[in-house]
Amino acid sequence: MPRKKAEVVKTEETNDNVYIAGAGLTREDEITETLRTNFMPYAMSVIVSRAIPEIDGFKPSHRKLLYTMYQMGLLTGARTKSANVVGQTMKLNPHGDGPIYETMVRLSKGNETLLHPFVDSKGNFGKAYSRDMAYAASRYTEVKLAKIAEEIFKDINKDTVNFVPNYDNTLTEPSLLPTTFPNILVNPNLGIAVGMASQICSFNLAEVCETVVAMLKNPDHDISTTLRGPDFSGGGVLLKDPDTLREIYETGRGSLRIRSKYTYFKQGNRIEITEIPPSTSVEVIQEKIIDLIKAGKIKEVSDLRDETDKNGLRLAIDLKRGVDPDNFMKKLFKITPLEDTFSCNFTVLINGTPMLLGAKAILNEWIQFRRTCVYRRTQFELDGKLSRLHLLEGLEKILLDIDKAIKIIRNTEEEKEVIPNLMIGFGIDEVQANYIAEIRLRHLNREYILSRTAEIAQLREDIKELKRILSNKELIDRIIMKEQAEVAQKYAQSRRTKLVSFFDETYSSDEQEKTSNSPYTIFYTKEGYFKKISPQSLRMSGAQKLKEDDIITDTIECNNETNLLFFTNLNNCYKCKVKDFGEGKASVMGDYVPAVLDFLDGELCLGMIATQDFKGEGVFFYDNGKCSRVPLEAYQTLSNRKKLTNATSPKGTLVWCTGITDHREFSLFSTNGRMLIIDSSLIPLKTTKSTQGVTVISLRKGQTLKEVHFSDDVVKKESKYRYRSRKIPATGAIFKDADSLDGLSRE
Nearest alpha-carbon partner for 522 in 563, 488, 572: 563
Q: If residue 454 lies in a helix (H) or strand (E), which one and from where to where?
A: none
- Decide if 622 is catalytic: no
Pairing of strands 339-345, 353-356: unpaired
Q: Which residues pair with 119 in a beta bridge?
A: 108, 145
Burial grade of 353 (CB within 10 A; 0-12, 13-18, 19 or more)? exposed
Q: Is 166 helix (H, G, I), strand (E, B) or coil?
A: coil
**439 C-beta neighbours (distance < 10 Å), count:** 15
Instruction: In whole angstroms, give the CA distance from residue 615 to residue 660.
Output: 9
- Asked if 269 contacts 251 with a C-beta cutoff of 8 angstroms, the reply is no
Catalytic, out of 140, 249, 262, 448 = 140
Instruction: In whole angstroms, give the CA distance from residue 376 to residue 79.
Output: 33
Instruction: In whole angstroms, give the CA distance from residue 426 to residue 435.
Output: 13
Contacts of 563 (CB under 8 A, 6+ apart): 575, 576, 577, 610, 611, 612, 613, 614
| Distance from the Cα of residue 229 to its chain's centroid | 16
**457 C-beta neighbours (distance < 10 Å), count:** 9
Q: DSSP string covering 504-538, please?
A: HH---HHHHHHHHT-EEEEEEETTSEEEEE-HHHH
Given CA atoms 645, 648, 653, 658 in this order, what sign does their dihedral have?
negative
Q: How much helix, strand and coil, in percent to the nearest 5, is found in the chain?
A: 35, 25, 40
Q: H helices of 108-204, where?
A: 150-153, 183-186
Angle (CA) 576-579-580 rounded to 5° is 50
* Interior/surface letters 646-670, b for 16+ CB within 10 angstroms, e for the rest: ebbbeebebbbbbbbeeeebbbbbb
| Distance from the Cα of residue 667 to its chain's centroid | 60
Instruction: In whole angstroms, give the CA distance from residue 54 to residue 82.
Output: 26
Q: Is 653 helix (H, G, I), strand (E, B) or coil?
A: coil
- Asked if 143 contacts 117 with a C-beta cutoff of 8 angstroms, the reply is no
Instruction: In whole angstroms, give the CA distance from residue 197 to residue 58.
Output: 15
Instruction: In whole angstroms, give the CA distance from residue 548 to residue 218.
Output: 78
Burial grade of 160 (CB within 10 A; 0-12, 13-18, 19 or more)? buried
Q: Is 747 helix (H, G, I), strand (E, B) or coil?
A: coil
Q: Which residues pair with 26 in a beta bridge?
A: 6
- Asked if 624 contacts 705 with a C-beta cutoff of 8 angstroms, the reply is yes
Contacts of 699 (CB under 8 A, 6+ apart): 624, 625, 670, 672, 705
Q: Is the peptide bond before 729 cis (omega within 30 degrees of 0)?
A: yes
- Asked if 678 contacts 629 with a C-beta cutoff of 8 angstroms, the reply is no
Rounded to 5 degrees, φ, ψ at 37 are: -85, -20
Question: What residues act catalytically?
Answer: 140
